[in-house]
Protein backbone atom coordinates (compact mmCIF):
# COMPACT_ATOMS: atom_id res chain seq x y z
CA UNK A 1 0.00 0.00 0.00
CA UNK A 2 2.79 2.46 0.84
CA UNK A 3 4.59 1.63 -2.40
CA UNK A 4 1.37 2.18 -4.33
CA UNK A 5 0.96 5.63 -2.77
CA UNK A 6 4.62 6.49 -3.41
CA UNK A 7 4.26 5.52 -7.06
CA UNK A 8 1.31 7.88 -7.40
CA UNK A 9 3.32 10.69 -5.79
CA UNK A 10 6.19 10.12 -8.22
CA UNK A 11 3.79 10.29 -11.17
CA UNK A 12 2.08 13.39 -9.77
CA UNK A 13 5.46 15.03 -9.26
CA UNK A 14 6.48 14.24 -12.86
CA UNK A 15 3.22 15.70 -14.13
CA UNK A 16 3.66 18.81 -11.98
CA UNK A 17 7.23 19.32 -13.16
CA UNK A 18 6.16 18.92 -16.80
CA UNK A 19 3.35 21.43 -16.28
CA UNK A 20 5.68 23.87 -14.56
CA UNK A 21 8.20 23.52 -17.41
CA UNK A 22 5.46 24.30 -19.97
CA UNK A 23 4.31 27.30 -17.93
CA UNK A 24 7.87 28.56 -17.51
CA UNK A 25 8.52 28.33 -21.25
CA UNK A 26 5.23 30.10 -21.95
CA UNK A 27 6.14 32.94 -19.59
CA UNK A 28 9.61 33.31 -21.14
CA UNK A 29 8.08 33.45 -24.63
CA UNK A 30 5.52 36.00 -23.44
CA UNK A 31 8.24 38.16 -21.89
CA UNK A 32 10.32 38.06 -25.07
CA UNK A 33 7.32 39.01 -27.20
CA UNK A 34 6.39 41.81 -24.80
CA UNK A 35 9.95 43.15 -24.87
CA UNK A 36 9.88 43.09 -28.68
CA UNK A 37 6.55 44.93 -28.64
CA UNK A 38 7.76 47.62 -26.26
CA UNK A 39 11.00 48.17 -28.17
CA UNK A 40 9.09 48.52 -31.46
CA UNK A 41 6.57 50.82 -29.79
CA UNK A 42 9.39 53.04 -28.51
CA UNK A 43 11.05 53.18 -31.93
CA UNK A 44 7.74 54.14 -33.56
CA UNK A 45 7.14 56.85 -30.96
CA UNK A 46 10.23 58.67 -32.19
CA UNK A 47 8.83 59.03 -35.72
CA–chain centroid gap for 24, Å, is: 2
User: So what's the pLDDT on residue 2?
Assistant: 67
Q: What angle do CA 25, 35, 30 make, to 5 degrees?
A: 25
Record the pTM: 0.64
Q: What is the pLDDT of residue 19?
A: 98
pLDDT of residue 13: 92
Question: How is the chain split into domains, by residue range?
Answer: 1-33
pLDDT of the chain, 47 residues: tens digit per residue:
666 666 688 888 999 999 999 999 999 999 999 999 999 988 887 66
Strands (E), the chain: none
Amino acid sequence: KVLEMTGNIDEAEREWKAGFHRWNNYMMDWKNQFNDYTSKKESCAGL
